[in-house]
Amino acid sequence: MYDETRIESLQFKRRVIVVEDSEINRVVVSEILTSYGVDVELANDGVQAIEAIKQSHFDMIFMDL
């Protein structure tokens, strides 16, 4: 499905948090981001995300509205 050579060349070290109430969506997004070398933390909702952000630095926050 993925071209391994292309994925290796696109990898970068970043830390992101994915905020999503749907478990399946969290898993899918996490797998995609991890395949690109991204360090992913997951949160079920905004409250969990805020607590995580208070404790750690993230380069990006993925969340729906």
Q: Residue 18: give its domain's CATH number.
A: 3.40.50.2300
pLDDT of residue 64: 84
Domain containing residue 30: 4-63
pLDDT at 6 over 80: no
Note the pLDDT tens digit of each residue in 11-38. 667 999 999 999 999 999 999 999 988 9
Domains: count for the chain: 1
Closest CA to 48 of 29, 28, 26: 26
CA distance readout (Å), 62 to 5, 6, 37, 58, 59: 26, 24, 16, 10, 10
